[in-house]
C-alpha cells in the first residue's frame, strides 16, 4: 500500500489539492464491551450513507474495539497511529468518527496526525442539515446548532498561531487575542440567532393557533429518517413534498389537509426525521419544529418494515419524542415499504412487535384503504351524532361542519339547514344551540 504525502498543517481548505483530499474519507466505528458487532457495523453503514450525502467519497473504514475511552484520542495511541496510516495509505484527508469527539480530542488528533482533518458524526449531521435547510426557521435552527458546536472548538482553528507566543507571562499573543475576539463574535451571533428564532417561533405559534381554530383534528407523521414519511404524505394527500431515497431529504414541516372516507377532514403534518445519535443540540434547536408533534392529536409513527434495524429505529424515534414532550401522544404505527417484504412470516413478526400497526406501501398503495379507515376511526373519537337545524344566517357553521364532521344527510328548509351529522368534540359547543335531538 502506497503512502500519500500528508496534507500541509495547518490545513488550508482553499488549496485545490487539499479540497480534493478532504473529499475522500476514512470512517471509524467503535464497538464497546456492551455492544454487539452487528450493531456497530450497522451504525458504521449509516455513517457511510450520511457522509455520502455530503458528496464525500468513502475509501475505507474499520471498527475499533474499545474497552475504555482514552482521553487524548478516544482510542489508544496504537490504534490512532493505525487509523492515520490507513487513511493516508488510501489518500484520504478526512477521518470521520461515528462517536462524538470532544474539542480537545479533535485538537490532539490533528496535532498528532498532521495533515488529517478529524471530525465526528455530529459534524456530518450538522453539515447535512445546513445543506438541506430551506425555510427561515430551519436555517436559523441549523445556524444556532453549528455556532454552539463551533464555540468550544475555536482553539483548534487558531493552534497554528501558538508558535507566535513570546514575552512575559502576562503578554497576550496574537493567537490568544484573535481567539478571544472570535469567541466574543460567536457569542454575539448566538444571541442574535436566538432572538430571530424566537420571533419565527412566535410566528409559527400564531399559525398553529389559526389552524386550531379550524375544528379538525391534527395528525403528525413522525419516524426515522428515510422511513418514507414524505412519500406517505404524498400518497394520502396528493402533496408534492420531496421524497428522495436519502437521509434527511426534508427538514421543514409540511401540513396538508386530508379528506377521509367519511367526509371528515384532518390536518396531516410531515416532520423532520430522526437518526441514531442525533446531536442533542440539534434536538434542542429543532424543538420548535418538533412542537408540531407535541401539539398533534395523534402521531403516525412510520417504520421502515424492510430495514433490518427497524426495531432500533423505532426506539430512537420514541426516545426523541419523549425528549421533546410528545411521549404521551396517542401513536398509530405504520409499517411502511411493505412492498419490499413479501415473506408472510416477517410481516407477522413485525405486526406482533407493533400491536395495532398497519402494513402499508406508500409506493404501491397497499394498505392505504385500511390506514384511511383507521385514521377515520381515530378522528371520530369523541364525536356525537346530532340532528341539527342551523339557521340560514349561520352558513359559516355549516361550512365548518362540512370540513370537520361526517355529514350523514342534509336538507334545506324554510327554517334553515337540517343536518344529521357526526359532530367532532371541537364543534359540540358551537352546535349545541341548534341541536334538535340526539339522532338514533
DSSP assignment of 161-186: GGGG--SSTTPPPHHHHHHHHHHHHH
CA 287 to chain centre: 10
Residues 282/125, Cβ–Cβ less than 8 Å: yes
186 in Cβ contact with 193 (< 8 Å): no
**Beta-bridge partner residues of 138:** none
Which phi and psi (to 5°) does residue 66 adopt?
A: -120, 105
Q: CB of 359 within 8 A of CB of 368? A: no
> pLDDT (tens digit, 0 to 9) for every residue of the chain, 440 residues total?
444 444 444 444 455 555 676 789 999 999 998 888 888 999 999 899 889 888 899 999 999 999 889 999 999 999 999 999 999 999 999 999 998 899 899 989 989 998 899 999 988 888 887 777 777 877 888 888 888 887 777 655 544 434 333 443 334 454 456 667 777 888 899 899 889 888 887 877 676 666 555 567 889 999 998 899 989 999 999 877 655 555 565 556 788 889 888 888 888 988 877 888 776 666 766 665 566 667 788 999 999 999 989 998 999 889 888 887 788 888 999 999 999 999 999 999 999 999 999 999 999 999 999 999 999 889 888 788 889 999 999 988 998 888 778 888 999 998 899 999 888 877 888 888 888 854 44
The helix or strand, by DSSP H or E, that contains position 418, with its residue range, turns out to be strand 416-423
Where do we find the cell 368534540? 425
Helix (H) or strand (E) holding 333: strand 331-336
Amino acid at each position: 500500500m502506497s503512502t500519500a504525502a500528508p496534507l500541509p498543517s495547518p490545513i488550508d481548505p482553499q488549496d485545490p489539492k487539499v479540497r480534493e483530499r478532504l473529499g475522500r474519507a476514512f470512517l471509524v466505528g467503535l464497538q464497546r464491551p456492551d455492544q454487539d458487532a452487528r450493531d456497530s457495523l450497522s451504525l458504521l453503514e449509516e455513517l457511510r450513507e450520511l457522509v455520502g450525502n455530503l458528496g464525500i467519497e468513502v475509501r475505507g473504514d474499520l471498527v475499533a474495539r474499545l474497552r475504555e475511552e482514552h482521553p487524548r484520542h478516544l482510542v489508544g495511541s496504537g490504534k490512532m497511529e493505525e487509523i492515520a496510516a490507513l487513511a493516508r495509505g488510501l489518500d484520504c484527508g478526512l477521518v470521520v468518527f461515528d462517536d462524538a469527539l470532544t474539542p480537545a480530542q479533535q485538537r490532539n488528533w490533528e496535532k498528532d496526525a498532521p495533515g488529517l482533518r478529524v471530525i465526528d458524526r455530529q459534524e456530518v449531521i450538522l453539515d447535512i442539515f445546513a445543506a438541506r435547510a430551506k425555510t427561515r426557521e430551519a436555517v436559523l435552527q441549523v445556524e444556532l446548532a453549528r455556532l454552539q458546536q463551533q464555540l468550544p472548538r475555536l482553539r483548534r482553528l487558531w493552534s497554528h498561531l501558538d508558535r507566535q507566543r513570546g514575552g512575559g507571562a502576562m503578554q497576550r499573543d496574537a493567537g490568544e487575542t484573535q481567539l478571544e475576539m472570535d469567541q466574543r463574535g460567536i457569542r454575539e451571533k448566538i444571541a442574535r440567532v436566538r432572538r430571530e428564532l424566537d420571533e419565527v417561533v412566535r410566528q409559527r405559534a400564531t399559525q398553529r393557533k389559526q389552524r386550531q381554530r379550524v375544528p379538525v383534528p391534527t395528525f403528525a407523521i413522525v419516524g426515522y429518517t428515510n422511513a418514507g414519511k414524505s412519500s406517505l404524505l404524498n400518497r394520502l394527500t396528493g402533496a408534492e413534498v420531496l421524497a428522495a431515497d436519502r437521509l434527511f431529504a426534508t427538514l421543514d414541516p409540511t401540513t396538508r389537509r386530508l379528506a377521509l372516507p367519511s367526509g371528515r377532514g384532518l390536518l396531516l403534518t410531515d416532520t423532520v426525521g430522526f437518526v441514531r445519535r442525533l446531536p442533542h443540540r440539534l434536538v434542542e434547536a429543532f424543538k420548535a419544529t418538533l412542537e408540531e408533534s407535541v401539539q398533534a392529536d395523534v402521531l403516525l409513527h412510520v417504520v421502515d418494515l424492510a430495514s433490518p434495524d427497524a426495531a432500533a429505529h423505532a426506539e430512537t424515534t420514541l426516545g426523541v419524542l419523549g425528549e421533546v414532550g410528545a411521549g404521551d401522544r396517542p401513536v398509530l404505527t405504520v409499517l411502511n415499504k411493505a412492498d419490499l417484504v413479501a415473506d408472510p412470516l416477517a410481516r407477522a413478526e413485525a405486526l406482533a412487535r407493533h400491536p395495532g400497526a398497519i402494513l402499508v406501501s406508500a409506493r404501491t398503495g397497499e394498505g392505504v384503504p385500511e390506514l384511511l379507515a383507521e385514521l377515520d376511526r381515530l378522528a371520530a373519537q369523541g364525536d356525537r351524532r346530532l340532528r341539527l337545524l342551523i339557521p340560514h344566517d349561520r352558513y359559516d357553521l355549516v361550512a365548518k361542519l362540512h370540513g370537520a364532521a361526517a355529514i350523514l344527510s342534509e336538507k334545506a328548509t324554510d327554517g334553515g339547514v337540517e343536518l344529521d351529522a357526526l359532530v367532532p368534540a371541537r364543534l359540540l359547543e358551537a352546535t349545541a344551540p341548534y341541536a334538535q335531538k340526539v339522532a338514533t
